[in-house]
Structure 1
Amino acid sequence: MTCRHAARKNGRKPLPKAGSDLASETTRIDLNLLLVFDMVMIERHVTRASIRLGLTQSAVSNALNRLRALFDDMLFVKAARGVEPTQRALVLWPEIHAALTQLQRSVRPGLFDPATSTIDFRISMVDLSAALLTPNLYRCIHEDAPGVSLSFVPHNPELTAERLVRGEVDFAISIEPPRMTVLEAIPLWSEGYVIAARKGHPMLDHPLSIDELCSLPQLHINLSGSPSSVSPVDAALQELGKSRPIKLVVNQFLVATTMLRESDLLAVLPMRLVADGFRQNWITFQPLPIALPEAALHLVWHKRNNGLQAMAWLKRKILDATTMLNADIKARIGG
């Protein structure tokens, strides 16, 4: 009795013949199934994946069932807001996603045409960046690509790298520079911090001393909401053995400017956020009494997108919009 016959008799799957069964497994893989797997990994939601693929939800569900049988794994489990990948899916996805991307480059080189494209780009950025950059960015894009759309994703600094790696967003605009070697970044702008308050605030009719800064009630912006997050100004004050009285913590820049206008709170903010309110004469500012590194904003993306014409085109449009914004900000503050 051969080993293969013995294995069948004992109920075990026989070992594959060298090369033959491996080739058989490869031919069982339907490229359309991998496209479904890739999109569900990106969206983490079956309905949203079906919409982006142009398929019915039942077709996507059937494809997932075939994938589960193919890989002998659940791949996705239901979660509160969609689905979560299993460990097996997380291991499979990077190479599958890279292979699909390379295949698209090979069979459709130079296919991206802004005038006819209907691609939906996704960018992660904070509300301040979106409010400042969107008017110029939309104009830059819509002039050349009327069918292209933009979707902004709420920005969480702690999740930025993971979202870029998983392909959930195409670009991120972040104060935090990338720490992963698979990510690249270029600076968009940098600027200093100021202490700001409503127009006519009695304490901002003169430059503040450090003691005054540490005695006046203030508003603080914590984008991630993490209790361990420490702002640059608080870190600098801690080195001096000092602290400031924080009376309100918000997670959005635009909420901060609204609260400044409606209260006597002060806030340490990037000059770019203050410029529009200063131009409209409802906010005032003074220089900080303590030296801080400038706040730098970076455009971040995954290296796998470097060969994609669509991504290179969007990057140029973001840089063009940034140039326009920088000129506008300089005009607003008279600098």
Structure 2
Amino acid sequence: MLPPSMPEGGGRSPELQHFRAFEAIHRLGGLTAAAQELGMTQPALSKALGLLRRYYGDELFVRSKQGMRPTPLARRLALDVQQLVGLVQERLRAPSGFDPARSSRTFRISCTEVGAIHFMPRLLAAVRDSAPGVRWEVVPLAGDALGGLLASGEIDLVLSAYQAQRPGLSSQALYSVGHCCLVRAGHPRIGQDLTLERFCAEKHVVASISDTQHAYRRVEQAIVQTAGEGAIGLRVHSLLTAPFIVAQSDHIFTATEQIARQMAQLPGLRLLPCPLPLPPIVVHQYWHSRQDQDPAVGWLRALVARHFAQPLPEVHAAQA
């Protein structure tokens, strides 16, 4: 592991705190944010970075409009540094465990934007009094990269219907959910019932997601298979735009029931059962097996399970 080879710069060898500084700067993209997370002053963090720069004979991070950008050498070192810091923190974690009442840890959860709308209000309310110092960050869901992000510790948990099969990943099925359709309140051809025939005759808004394993990509595929490619009237790149468009058009948007019910609270929308025979999806929480011994991540998983886990129908429990 580190150092990968004798660097050209030489000088005093880095210690763990220097690599922790490197990892925080690389992940957060700024000295101020990294210093705050590590509980260091900015001069102390700059001093740690300076030692690394001398040791490796490289700037490692350069200022830009987007923050501190890693040099090619820093990008090559990043994964080793993340693994080193994560391993040491895991092995040296205090045996007393995690005390949420005194913690100021930032938990990073990866989910979709609509997933954040579903999960985060309840989680924030659940810890308001019991873990007031805990902080949260929601990061975009990156299906192909989630295994590496969990392994490196860049994210703590993934909440998704994405079917993740990666070495080292563990999962818990939380609940299954069906689908509903959103239409505008004054739709000229759709009354209190939405038949499959009418569903196929109308235009649809779908989320343009390239990953074929994503739940909304499978909805699009089912619409095309049943009603034809011509039924797709609009593709959007953000699920949150769909209800605003539907409220002002004659298009239909098909979403998971939990999200559709939240979207239906917007003015001008109606919620109807989906006539398309879509199989319910199962939402999971995913984590890396290296985090099994991390009491903080264990607390987070238990928190999510306590507030969202529901018994699954037998067919879905077997699939999960």
Native 8 Å contact 2:200 2:226 kept in 1: no
CA distance in 2, matches of 1:306, 1:222: 35
Match of 1:246 in 2: 232
The answer on 1:33 being equivalent to 2:13 is no
Deviation by residue 1:135-155 (Cα, 9 ceiling, x = unmatched) = 321222223212212222244
Amino acid at match of 2:47: N
Which of 33, 38, 43 lines up with 1:48 in the alignment?
33
Q: For structure 1, which runs of at least 5 residues remain unmatched after alignment?
A: 1-20, 327-335
How much identity, in percent, do the aligned residues show? Answer: 26
Shift of 1:170: 1.7
Match of 1:308 in 2: 294
SS in 1 for 2:150: helix
Which of 47, 54, 64 lines up with 1:62 in the alignment?
47
* Largest Rg, 1 or 2: 1
Shift of 1:312: 0.4
The answer on 1:151 being equivalent to 2:145 is no
Match of 1:298 in 2: 284
Amino acid at match of 1:288: P
Q: For structure 2, which runs of at least 5 residues remain unmatched after alignment?
A: 1-5, 313-320
Amino acid at match of 2:195: L
CA distance in 2, matches of 1:128, 1:237: 21
Deviation by residue 1:82-139 (Cα, 9 ceiling, x = unmatched) = 2344454444444443343343342522242112112121212222222222232122
CA distance in 2, matches of 1:240, 1:224: 20
Which of 196, 210, 215 lines up with 1:209 in the alignment?
196
CA distance in 2, matches of 1:28, 1:177: 43
Amino acid at match of 1:253: L
Shift of 1:247: 3.6
**Matching of residues 12-23 of structure 1 within 5 Å:** none
Which of 123, 139, 143 lines up with 1:137 in the alignment?
123
Amino acid at match of 2:250: D
Match of 1:285 in 2: 272
Amino acid at match of 2:109: I
- TM-score, normalised via structure 2 length: 0.77
Match of 1:98 in 2: 83
Compared CA separation, residues 230 and 146, structure 1 to 2 (3 A): closer
Match of 1:272 in 2: 258
**Bigger Cα displacement from structure 2, 25-34 vs 143-152:** 25-34
Native 8 Å contact 1:43 1:168 kept in 2: no
Compared CA separation, residues 30 and 82, structure 1 to 2 (3 A): same
**Bigger Cα displacement from structure 2, 49-58 vs 312-321:** 49-58
Match of 2:305 in 1: 319
- TM-score, normalised via structure 1 length: 0.74
